Chain A
Amino acid sequence: MSDNIRFVQGNEACVEGALYAGLEFFAGYPITPSTEIAEQLSSRLPKIGGKFIQMEDEIASMCAIVGASLTGRKVMTATSGPGFSLKQEALGYAIMAEIPCVIVNVQRGGPSTGIPTHVHQGDVNQARWGTHGDHAIIVFTASNHQDVFAMTVEAFNIAETYRTPVVLLFDEVVGHMRERLVLPQPGEIPIVERLRTSVPQGVNYHPYLPREDGRLPMSDFGAFHRYNVTGLFHDMWGFPSDDHEVVHDLLRHLMDKIENRTNQLAKFKEFYTEDAEVLLISYGSTARSARDLVEQRRRRGESFGLLELLTLWPFPNDLVRKKAANAKYVVVAEMNTGQVCQSVRLAVDQPERVFLANRIDGEFISPDDIHKTVRLIRGKGV
């Protein structure tokens, strides 16, 4: 048996992906159901010359990774709902100051401390709008360990490419479940390294002066150049500005660098979507039950299909509209009161054919739970 096969929890698959992508610094505060990420990294990172710090709380953890990233390290933190709430302010700072970082939220039930050991997917809209002010954000998810690994690598790559925080929104079932993970060989998945400025030491460096392709080369803070970093609107020097043109251009830049690339960032998987009369749309662990149901119904000759979203934000409107165009019924399966369902209704033509199949009691949604909703919609009784 080859030694690149593991039998691990989803949280461990995330750790493997982060290390593969070049994670060097982790700061966190353990919380169920994300704790295994911190636990594993506390032993793995020091062995490769990285740093692991257990901070006094989630606020400090988020601030620590933002600072470490600015000094030139690839960084990550991991938490669950209550901790994710606390991280929102510094997350907004990272958006504004354009500091690459990866934030993992292994979702449990909320609001507040909610139901720590059970599964929910209630943080989808928080991941989008948790921090204040207009902004854009990138949020990835996954339903199986191979994808947890791949999307974690992708999160680091995208964070570096666009100088932005990327949120990995997993959930308790994927985080704690154990299954096979095949570790890719080094080089098998391309890794994006930090783009550093070619401006030599002693020469003025403009931290927020974009290159022609729009990218902003970074300078390891404290190493070669003196420059300012702030959460205030700022000019190309990084100094605060209330000039309306500076404010307008920076906000547009923060939005456009992500939202203009919505289609390119839209990662997804599709199963039997071409001729699907009933198109399920799902993500995270719920997509496992949706896939199970689709395979069951296909064996019986029924035209079920599944669109599994791996990118939740920016919401892949064009993709969803296109894939849903020919479906008679579009059923969004998720474990919340309809957060992605709402986005799907906005994306498709004829939103009246979009239905929600959900479960919000902390029990994992089953293929049968989804099927009952589909039967009701089609007038077939339960």
Chain B
Amino acid sequence: MMVEKTRFVFSGSGGQGVITAAIILAETAVLQENLNAVQTQIYGAAARGGATRSDVIISDSAIYFPYVEQANVLICLTQEAYNKFSPIVRPGGLLITDTRYVKIERAVDAVQKELPMYQTVMDKIGKPIVFNICMLGVVTALSPVVKPESITKILEERIAPAFLDMNRKALELGFELGRQSMG
């Protein structure tokens, strides 16, 4: 299942939970799947807004250079992030975008998945705060580096009990959305 190294780039806008999602994925790989993972993020001075990016590398061997130059999996949750980062998807890689926020403007040599993640979360849960967890569900379905139940275990440790069901549901919705898109 594991290729030597899987390189993810999560991008979007500050406040969408892009960095949190990246941390959860990497933490799952290390603490639940006994893989190596490194997570980095590009910091600006602002706390909200602007293009946010977080890189995650997951591998069964050592990881030295901690940033991603060509992403096996690129996730873009805003048009700005898509415009800026879409060229870094590795040929033959996977590009995941949200239909509400991103209009695909050019073909890249990658599998492109335009999915209504935000809309699904709003229709089924009604709270935009778990948009990022739904996205993580999609990622888990389409790039099976970690198991969704492993992510659930990390969510149980990180998230207050009152919000846990909502997060579990968002993860499941995302996972289903990802699976259905595989046809």
Binding site for B on A (CB under 8 A): 1, 5, 7, 32-33, 116-118, 173, 176-180, 285, 288-289, 291-292, 295, 364, 366-368
Contacts and interface: CB of A to CB of B under 8 A. Distances in A.
A116 B46 CA distance: 12
Given A173-B40, A176-B43, A288-B65, 5 more contacts: A7-B31, A178-B23, A179-B39, A179-B63, A180-B36
A350 B64 CA distance: 31
Interface string B3-45: 0000000000000000000010011001110101111110111
Contact of A117 (B26, B31, B45, B66): B45
Contact of B37 (A32, A179, A364, A366): A179
11 contacts: A1-B31, A7-B37, A118-B43, A173-B66, A177-B40, A177-B66, A178-B27, A179-B37, A288-B66, A364-B67, A367-B65
B165 interface: no
B37 to A, nearest CB: 7
B149 interface: no
A43 to B, nearest CB: 17
A176 B38 CA distance: 11
A12 to B, nearest CB: 12
A288 B63 CA distance: 8
Nearest to B65: A292
Interface of B: 23, 26-27, 30-32, 34, 36-41, 43-45, 63-67, 69
Nearest to B33: A1
A135 B36 CA distance: 42
Contacts, number: 62
Given A288-B64, A364-B67, A366-B69, A5 B40 contact: no
Contacts of B65: 288-289, 292, 366-367
Contacts of A32: 43
Given A5-B31, A7-B26, A180 B37 contact: yes
Contacts of B26: 7, 178
A293 to B, nearest CB: 8
Contacts of A1: 31-32, 34
A180 B39 contact: no
Contacts of B37: 7, 178-180
B41 A176 contact: yes
Nearest to B43: A117
Contact of B30 (A7, A173, A366, A367): A7
The interface centre, meaning the residue of A5, A7, A117, A118 with most chain B CB atoms within 10 A of its CB, is: A7
B19 to A, nearest CB: 10
B39 A178 contact: yes
A167 B69 CA distance: 33
Nearest to A117: B43
Nearest to A287: B64
A368 B65 CA distance: 10
A80 B78 CA distance: 33
Q: Top 9 A-B pairs ranked by shortest CB distance?
A: A117-B43, A292-B64, A292-B65, A178-B39, A7-B27, A288-B64, A291-B64, A7-B30, A179-B38
